[in-house]
Amino acid sequence: MAQRVVLAYSGGLDTSVAVRWMIENYGVEVVTVACNLGQEGDWEGLQAKAFAAGAIEAIVVDCQEEFADEFLAPSLKANALYEGEYLLGTSIARPLIAKRLVEIARKTKADAISHGATGKGNDQVRFELGAYALMPNVKIIAPWREWDLLSREKLMRYADQHGIPVDGAKRKGPPPYSMDANLLHISYEGGILEDPNYAPDDSMWRLTVSPEKAPNKPQVIELTYKHGDVVAIDGVRMSPAKVLTHLNTLGGKHGIGRLDKVENRYVGMKSRGCYETPGGTILLSGHRAIESITLDREVLSLKEDLMPRYARLVYNGYWFSPERELLQGLIDASQATANGKVRLKLYKGTIMCVGRESKTDSLFDTRIATFDDDGGAYNQADAGGFIKLNALRLRIAANLKNERAAKATPARKATSKKKA
């Protein structure tokens, strides 16, 4: 039986009830942990809620720079998109939270961790896989998989019976959807969004204006890359977290980064989510542009082949797995030459690369690529042999096909004469 539990705490109804429920049902002391990943929050108010629910300690940890540098940057270097669209904003945050839970569990001598994820979603998998990878013998308490408080009404009744404070706004009725925010994105799901044919009202989006309402004048920005990371915007050096914050503002202003997606959860069901990722969408476009001139063709092709596998690993919760770390080593090695500058034009929900250069690592050789006289840098006659060698298998197959057709023709003629 656990004696002390560290709970990933959001300050919402679910995790506030979870504090008291674990005290009652497990007889444990509860330490709450809230990670600041760049989302807005009243952190002092959140701590007060935790204490009111019965926590013995309420910890708030600022993880913004670590999140941007050690979790988002590696994923963005991989150009990771789950099912070709989703930039993994929620998925990539969970392993960091799991890491913090384990660190604080060790520090506070807790022997269990807990979270407020439901038994239907991906987050339970991500939290627990991360925790087991870092603390193999840790105990897990997942209230949603145990309690019978399976409706909002039951949770509210439990809170009232146990004196757990609930925001006045939440008493007026359930929110139309749930939200999860961090430096990379805001996600919206559940409620009215559970109908995949329902078009969300424009007022739902928090980070971005509608592309139709974005400025009529485009804006060109310059990103400076060092080993695949953006280190400056328009010549101004910034930390990883500041880069994302700044690009979120610029992208939001121009209506960039909205996504409405039906995705396949790891647990087996389809779900619909809406995502705003303005800064991440800009970073993805810029990163592909710098790679286009600094990475070898086959290296780039290999990265593109591996990207879906990498994205699935992150989405499904295997951040701390040996296979993800192996892939990361390959990806990081490819970024040694991803240095230079990229200019992007932002306009009404779109991003267009209008310039890219690398003074140290560009593989774009204008002497060879030019359509004008190249002064002998490239012998065009060499292309003939190159084409013939690559056509060899096609020619062999075509000759065999023609031989088979020729042998079959006399037999068909003989059959026709007999019938006559």
Just list the catalytic residues: 14, 94, 123, 178
Inter-residue contact 225 to 290 (CB < 8 Å):
yes
Inter-residue contact 349 to 278 (CB < 8 Å):
no
Going edge to edge, which strands form the sheet with 219-226? 236-237, 229-233, 219-226, 340-347, 350-357
Helix (H, G, I), strand (E, B) or coil at 142: coil
Query: Which residue carries 């059959």 as its tokens?
Result: 415
Q: Which tokens belong to 126?
A: 């991500």
Concatenate the DSSP letters of all residues of 290-311 into one string: HHHHHS-HHHHHHHHHHHHHHH
End-to-end distance of the chain based on CA atoms, in angstroms? 92
From residue 110, give the alpha-carbon distance in Å to each of 55, 63, 105, 146.
Answer: 13, 21, 5, 21
From residue 208, give the alpha-carbon distance in Å to each of 36, 79, 192, 278.
Answer: 21, 22, 20, 7
How many angstroms separate the CA atoms of 184 and 189, rounded? 17
Instruction: Label the pairing between strands 236-237 and 186-189.
Output: unpaired
Task: Please compute Rg for the chain using Cα positions.
Answer: 28
